[in-house]
Amino acid sequence: QSVLTQPPSVSEAPRQRVTISCSGSRSNVGNNAVIWYQHLPGKAPKLLMYYDDLLPSGVSDRFSGSKSGTSASLAISGLQSGDEADYYCAAWDDSLNNWVFGGGTKLTVL
């Protein structure tokens, strides 16, 4: 059971928009920045979003992040087949003194 809660899967058609939620608690998402990673099969995970809503250099602006209270979300617009991947949220947990992850969300582009 992951500390952060994500939906196991989401799906949407090409060129549409999808959001992936990440729910935590005050000790992690509520007090600390949420990070998002994209994990393509057979590849190393890739940083997608940091400090809740900041895009690393080289990441498409089709990706956006937001946070309110103890919940965060990742939005992907203009869906492409190449976006099919597993997406993970993560945050530092002040109570556990650990990094915690969500269980991951598998994105399918229909």
Catalog residues that contact other proteins under the rule CB under 8 A: 2, 33, 35, 37, 39, 43-47, 50, 56, 86, 88, 90, 92, 96-104
- Taking alpha carbons only, the member of 22, 21, 26 closest to residue 93 is 26
CB-nearer residue toward other proteins: 17 or 47? 47
For residue 104, the tally of other CB atoms under 10 A from its CB is 19
CB-nearer residue toward other proteins: 51 or 78? 51
Least Å distance, CB 90 to other proteins, is 7
CB-nearer residue toward other proteins: 83 or 86? 86
Rg for the chain, CA atoms, rounded = 13
CA-to-CA distance for 52 and 58, rounded, in angstroms?
A: 17
Least Å distance, CB 44 to other proteins, is 4
The answer to whether 86 and 35 are in contact (CB under 8 A) is: no
